[in-house]
Amino acid sequence: MYDITVIGAGITGTFIARELSRYDLNILLLDKENDVANGTTKANSAIVHAGYDAAEGTLKARFNVRGNKMYDEICRDLDVPFKRVGSLVTAFNEEEMETIQCLYQRGITNGVPDMKILDKEEVLAMEGNLKEDIKGALYAKTGGIVGPWELAIALAENAVENGVELRLNSPVTAIKKVEKGYRVSAGEKTYKTKVVINCAGVYGDQIDQMINEKTFEILPNRGEYNLFDKSVGDMVKTVVFGCPSAAGKGTVILPTVHGNLLLGPTADPIDNKEDTRTTFDGLTSINDHAKATLKQIGFQDVITSFSGIRAKVARKDFIIEKARGREDFINVAGIDSPGLTAAPAIAEYVVEMVQASATSLEMPLREKENFNPRRTPSIHFMDLSTKEQEKLIAKDARFGRIICRCENITEGEIVDVIKRKAGATTLDGVKRRARPGSGRCQGGFCAPRVMEIIARELDVDMKDVLKDGKGSYILTEKTK
Ligand SMILES: Cc1cc2nc3c(=O)[nH]c(=O)nc-3n(C[C@H](O)[C@H](O)[C@H](O)COP(=O)(O)OP(=O)(O)OC[C@H]3O[C@@H](n4cnc5c(N)ncnc54)[C@H](O)[C@@H]3O)c2cc1C
């Protein structure tokens, strides 16, 4: 019998599972996919928002501002890339200047520190590549960028190191109320649990409906992106937002934590929650925004395009509540933007909810003495000094063999991410953890080598090594 079962190992579920792992509890983390962070968490803008966007008084506003503050310590503990580069909301006319004034006021109400309205000269001094007809911008010093899937993977690793049981390839298909809890059917197995926490992203409504009739509906909304090569990663230094409109926060141009340039997203309501295609119209619209905003931008440097799906709800706020008043079933749903930023604060709040129900659930929350907030640090060979590199190679020759020549990733680093807790089993799983295939050639050269390493380390046939999700086979037979 588990005390708590968390459904969904995206940023929300992994943060909650890791926060709960501070306590002496039996925790199960389930995900339908073959890796952590394979839903919305792997495809978003990766911005740690300052907090002036969300409407005053909402959970979004509250958890955005609180979550933002929590990022430094968490990313330090978990060895995850995070940079407070600051953000700008640009205004190119008087109407947009009025909008940024409203955002500034909302930011003040929401408790956002260190904001300033900049005039034209100040903006251009900060971002020299913005067009000269800019009128001003809202600057927020606390805006940042993070590696979203790296963070979720690190949280899962740390949660497992602290005793959480992670079960992948476990789609929850039924939840039955039993005495003192639930019986959760996932994959071939059934688990008994006292409490269920629903963090299933765009499928949050389906999980909720497994115990009763419909109470909310997830309205999927797609955002498309272009990712540029590192050679143009310094086109902007801060997170540069267009002025927001009814459709959303506005298109963003930003550096990534790994030095690329990211452009997007669109905001399109869609019917199919799996429809992650990119479209000519969508990519054209974001490219047009970049052309209208920047003096210099070249689309020959786009190395890949992708899209992610927002889990919107009619309520226009996060749904974080006991399902139909039940103490033992918590919905954490409708976690669209700024869900990534808010996730640490959401986790804190959910643990408070569990704590408040502890007596009636007969599940006291006792802090563990041996909780370790730090995960085993990962190895970044190229960040080491020559001396450290030589020492590492002398200890393990696999660090002397470069597999990915675009990103300079060694065999040793790839083996490390396969062997870790919550380790990689697929080509993209290795890419998300150690970055081979993230560079200009997008895996054109290193993918076969990485597949060989996965097959060797996991003792599986090369033909069974997947690109990413279930069924994404790459090879059919040997040719030479
Ligand atoms: C285009 C776009 C841009 C965004 N930009 C930002 C940003 O810059 N900053 C920010 O703060 N936020 C941003 N967001 C929002 C942020 O990405 C999300 O709020 C966050 O990733 C949601 O995480 P999650 O864990 O709730 O959902 P997910 O990451 O989708 O995780 C849900 C998990 O549940 C699993 N699951 C689903 N059904 C089942 C089932 N039946 N059984 C078992 N497992 C199941 C899925 O496999 C998945 O792993 C953006 C979102 C989008 C789409």
Segment 142-177, tens digit of pLDDT = 999 999 999 999 999 999 999 999 999 999 999 999
Question: pLDDT for 171-204, tens place per residue?
Answer: 999 999 999 999 999 999 999 999 999 999 999 9
**C-beta of residue 384 within 8 angstroms of C-beta of residue 395:** no
**% of residues, the chain, pLDDT over 70:** 100
Q: Which atom of ligand 1 is nearest to the CA of 308?
A: 53
With b for 16 or more beta-carbon neighbours within 10 A and e for fewer, the 197-208 pattern comes to: bbbbbbbbbbbb
Task: Tell me if 41 CB under 6 Å of ligand 1.
Answer: yes
Nearest CA to ligand 1 atom 48: 39
**Is cis: bond before 265, omega within 30 of 0?**
yes
Q: What is the pLDDT of residue 344?
A: 98
Residue 337 has pLDDT above 80, yes or no: yes
- Give phi and psi for 469, each to the nearest 5: -75, 175
Alpha carbon of 452 to ligand 1 centroid (Å):
31
Cα 139 to Cα 116: distance, rounded to the nearest angstrom: 5
Alpha carbon of 145 to ligand 1 centroid (Å):
17
CB atoms within 10 A of CB 215: 14
Residue 115, strand partner residues: 140
Domains of the chain by range and CATH? 1-83+145-218+313-377 (3.50.50.60), 87-141+220-309 (3.30.9.10), 381-464 (1.10.10)
Cα 400 to Cα 232: distance, rounded to the nearest angstrom: 29
With b for 16 or more beta-carbon neighbours within 10 A and e for fewer, the 296-311 pattern comes to: ebeeebbbebbbbbbb
Q: Which atom of ligand 1 is nearest to the CA of 332?
A: 26
Output the CA torsion sign for 383, 385, 390, 395: negative
Task: Tell me if 12 CB under 6 Å of ligand 1.
Answer: yes
Q: Which of 49, 258, 289, 380 is catalytic?
A: 49
On the CB side of 364, CA atoms within 13 Å amount to: 3
Tokens in use for 82? 């995070």
What is residue 245's three-state secondary structure? Answer: strand
Task: Tell me if 33 CB under 6 Å of ligand 1.
Answer: yes
Task: Tell me if 437 CB under 6 Å of ligand 1.
Answer: no
Tokens in use for 57? 């008084």
Q: Which atom of ligand 1 is nearest to the CA of 11?
A: 25
Residue 245 has pLDDT above 80, yes or no: no
Q: Does the annotation mark 49 as catalytic?
A: yes
243: nearest Cα among 397, 137, 392, 142: 137
CB atoms within 10 A of CB 473: 11
**C-beta of residue 391 within 8 angstroms of C-beta of residue 412:** no
Q: What is the pLDDT of residue 207?
A: 98
Q: How does the average pLDDT of the chain come out, rounded?
A: 96
Going by pLDDT thresholds of 50, 70 and 90, the confidence category of residue 212 is: confident
Task: Tell me if 436 CB under 6 Å of ligand 1.
Answer: no
Alpha carbon of 10 to ligand 1 centroid (Å):
6
Output the CA torsion sign for 194, 197, 203, 205: positive
Alpha carbon of 317 to ligand 1 centroid (Å):
15
Of the given ranges (78-82, 242-246, 318-322, 424-428), which has the lowest mean pLDDT? 242-246
Residue 247 has pLDDT above 70, yes or no: no
**Apex 4 CA angle, 2 and 7, nearest 5:** 110
Task: Tell me if 204 CB under 6 Å of ligand 1.
Answer: no
Residue 422 has pLDDT above 80, yes or no: yes
CB atoms within 10 A of CB 325: 7
Average pLDDT over residues 198-222: 96
Average pLDDT over residues 290-298: 95
Alpha-carbon distances, residue 293 vs 90, 287, 472 (angstroms) = 9, 10, 38
Alpha carbon of 292 to ligand 1 centroid (Å):
30
Question: pLDDT for 98-143, tens place per residue?
Answer: 999 999 999 999 999 999 999 999 999 999 999 999 999 999 999 9
Q: How many helices (H) and strands (E) does the chain have?
A: 13, 22
Q: Which atom of ligand 1 is nearest to the CA of 202?
A: 30
Q: What is the pLDDT of residue 325?
A: 82
